[in-house]
Every structure is written in structure tokens, then in C-alpha cells.
Amino acid sequence: MNRLGIFYGTWTTEYNADFMKYTKKAADAGFDVIELMADVIDGMDKQSRKDLKSLGDDLGIGFTFAADPPAQYDVTSPETGVRDRAVEKLKGYLRIVNEFDSHIACGIVNGVWNSKIVDSKEEHTKRSLDSMRKLMPLAEELDVDICLEVVNRFEYFMLNTCREALAYIGQVGSRNLKVQLDTFHMNIEEDSFEAAILEAGDQLGYFHAGENNRKPPGTGFLPWGEIFGALKKIDYKGVVSLESFVEKGGDFGESCSVWRDLMPGSDIDTEVVKANRFLRRMMAN
């Protein structure tokens, strides 16, 4: 059965959060993996990172890392110096993944989340491809899969469908560059959940599970039977990670446009346990 993960932002609205606390919460709620932001880890001192990894080892919790860079590190920038600094920043993220004995760097590694087009999508994509080709040798050396998240048109412009991501990966030509699909974004952009997952096939490296409205899985109307049936058809063995944003305010509330509390009065600890059980039933069936 797939390992089941959870993004720490399901519990908090802030990027810079107590990762020790949320790693414990992930274990208490029955998850196998916690997804953290590499940029926040990058700002921690070495002993704090060592303590966090030790806690994960003690609890049996693995780590994956969202490697979305801040705006000043844009691998698609028209400025060569910015792109070069961005590639070096991302290399640092890959070393963090390796430091935690992980193999997954996910998110919008190919650009900057919520950024806008400066000249054209095509020119941004060309510069992104050039930067990614410079990054992939280290990913291959460290055995880290970079999983490019396919997101909706309102959050980023470059890769909105699985097909676009596969075309991008084909132009880079590295075995360690994979697709990351997310059911919330797929519901907006794809014609079919099943068709997109089948098209991804063995190029699918990471999978986010969240409802049509960003609530936890099992609370909305997404066709989870179809989704997990397709994952079974391609024999997907990777992590399925719950990602949900339900509380307004803070870093995530602003970034993900959560302008109202989506589950007022609910206890999020209870809700994630329910979602865990739901996803495990789906995986088992």
C-alpha cells in the first residue's frame, strides 16, 4: 500500500511553523510522511534540523519537501544572475532532501508560485528548461526525484495540465524529473481524472489529495473511486499526501486565497484522522 502523507499547512496558516509539533501530530493522526517547506528548513540551524530528523526517525515518520522557491529565486527570470542564484538555491534544497534521507522534492520547482508572466509563457518556459537542465545532475547524483506540481491557471501559468508537464519533462530528459498531480488543481484544469493519471503513468512521482474546495478528502464531491482506480491501473507506489487549506488568514490563507473559514467550528485534528481513514479505505479498495 502507498505511504500516506500530510502537508503541515493542513494544520497551520503560517509558513514558519513548529515542525516538531506537526511531525508529532502527523504520527498521532496515523500518517507515514509529513511534507514540509524546504525554504523554512533552509533557515533552521543544523542542530534543529538534526533534532527534527531524529524525531521523525523515532516516530517512524518520513519527510518530503515542497521546494517552491521565494520570488527572488526565479529560475524563469529574464536576468541571468537571478536564474543562476535560483539554481544554487534549489541545489541547497536538494541537499536538504538528502540530509533527511528523503528522495522527494515537490512543488513548483520550475518557477515561482503565484508569479506573473513578464514577456511570454514560451520565453519563461525556455528559461525554466535551461535552469532545470543545470539542476538535474545534482538531483541524479543525490537520487532525488524533482516532482513538478501541476497547478491551476490562477496559481501559476506554466504547467496547468499533466500533458504540459510531460512535454516539459521530455525536453529536460532526466530520469529524476517527474510529475506531481493534485486533485484540487486537476478538478479545475483536466478533462478527466482517470485520463490524466493514466497519461502520467510511470512518470507520476508524487500525488496530492484534496477536495474540490480544498477541504480534506471525503468531504466534497470528487470521484475518489475513479481517482484511486486510475492510480491502481498505473501501479502507483509513491506517496499520497493530504493537502488541505481551510482556515483564512496567515501565509497560506493569503497565498491560496482562503478568504473565509471553510470548516468553522471543526476540530482539524479530528478531521485529518477522518481523512486518513477515508484515504486508506480508498487505497485498500
Catalytic residues: 149, 243
Query: What Cα–Cα distance (Å) separates residue 251 from each residue in 164, 248, 254, 255, 271?
Result: 28, 9, 5, 6, 21
Residue 119, number of CB atoms within 10 A of its CB: 10
